[in-house]
Amino acid sequence: QRTTMEGRASRGVGAGSSPPPCFVRPFRRTRAIPPRDSRLAGSSSSSTTSTSSFSGPGENDDAARGTTTTATTTLTEEALQGRGDGRSKGRQKLFTNISPVYDVLNDALSLGLHRTWKRRVVKLTECGVGDTALDVCCGSGDLAFLLARKVGGSGHVSALDFSANMLSYALQRSVSKDLFRFTFDRRGGKGGASTISWIHGDALDLPFDDSSFDCVTIGYGLRNVEDRERCLQEVRRVLRPGKRAVILDFNSPDESGEGGRRSKAINTFRDACLDAFVVPVATACGLREEYAYLKPSIADYPTGEDLVALARDEVGFGEAEFQEIAAGLMGALVLRK
């Protein structure tokens, strides 16, 4: 079945409202935007979001904003060292390039364990049948599909990413695998319309009303956004009071504090795996530069302790904890509004 990108994203996907189209293109807001002072400090709003300022394999790619780079600038340098739109554009290119082989490489490089980690994340959200869920930086859709199974036909999942290529691939997966029912209308089903809406949008300016979702997930996306604090502010804004957000990513423990020897062992083992296995495999697939970005981006990612402090003290989450996964190689930031 041929599916076109059409429609506009709706601000607000709550109980009793019709879900937005299955796959929506870069959108223009069509409803009044709340005054800036009615949203969390640091959040910004604009009249349109036809482009994006974040990334995530989580999984995203909007039409890149107009910047140019010299011929000698590598994609990794552009993604890491650029400023503003330039860095965003570099990261969009990166995830656009890897989208065709994203799942294959994830399975190979994690020995399939990333699926186990993602199932744990969904369990930590505490979402249930009939809930409304949001997956930010959804990438190829792994967490969105798991959330759809969790909330069932009477619930709804919004999956947002800035990479149009990733969204297209996620939609193809839903058609080619036994996931069709989680994307298209389920006529006669208990929930009525589609369970998942694929939305091309910006993690730093989420196109939803305040307190719209029962749970929010981000899988390997917070590490790649331009402004992590603002991203967390947006997550908190759209989350309903008392509900959870769970963010999965690589763990980068502090080697100078208590347990420094263990932390050093974790970081050393992770970096050795990246150098000896991940990058060579990616190189064989013609994606050396794209996966060379992984190691420095992890080094730049805050420790679990710093993430907790950011979420609780700066953003204002009522509860925040960091749980190590896979013997400390990965970590889940668990937040409650």
Task: Name the residue type at position 239.
Answer: L
Q: Pairing relation of β-strands 213-219 and 132-136?
A: parallel
> Which two structure tokens, joined as six digits, stand for 320?
């925040």
Q: Which residues contact 155 (CB under 8 A, 6 or more apart)?
A: 127, 129, 130, 131, 132, 133, 148, 191, 195
pLDDT score at 279: 78
pLDDT in tens, 15-63: 444 444 444 443 333 232 233 333 333 333 332 222 233 333 334 343 3
Read off the pTM: 0.71
The span from the CA of 152 to the CA of 133, in Å, is 11
What SS3 state is found at 293? coil
Q: How does residue 287 score in pLDDT terms, banded at 50, 70 and 90?
A: confident
Structure token digits, residue 123:
């369990």
What are the residues whose beta carbons fall under 8 Å from the beta carbon of 234, sequence distance 6 or more? Answer: 40, 43, 203, 204, 205, 206
Mean pLDDT (whole number) for 243-264: 90
- φ/ψ (deg, to 5) at 213: -125, 150
One-letter-per-residue 3-state SS of 131-188: CEEEEECCCCCHHHHHHHHHHCCCCEEEEEECCHHHHHHHHHHHHHCCCHHHCCCCCC
Q: What distance lies between CA 302 and its chain's CA centroid? A: 17
Q: Which residue has the tokens 């759809």?
A: 148
Residue 247, helix vs strand vs coil: strand
* pLDDT higher than 80, residue 329: yes
Reduce the DSSP state of residue 214 to 3 states and report it. Answer: strand
Question: Rounded to an integer, what distance in angstroms lies between the CA atom of residue 172 and that of residue 288?
Answer: 25
| Better-predicted residue by pLDDT, 163 or 16 | 163
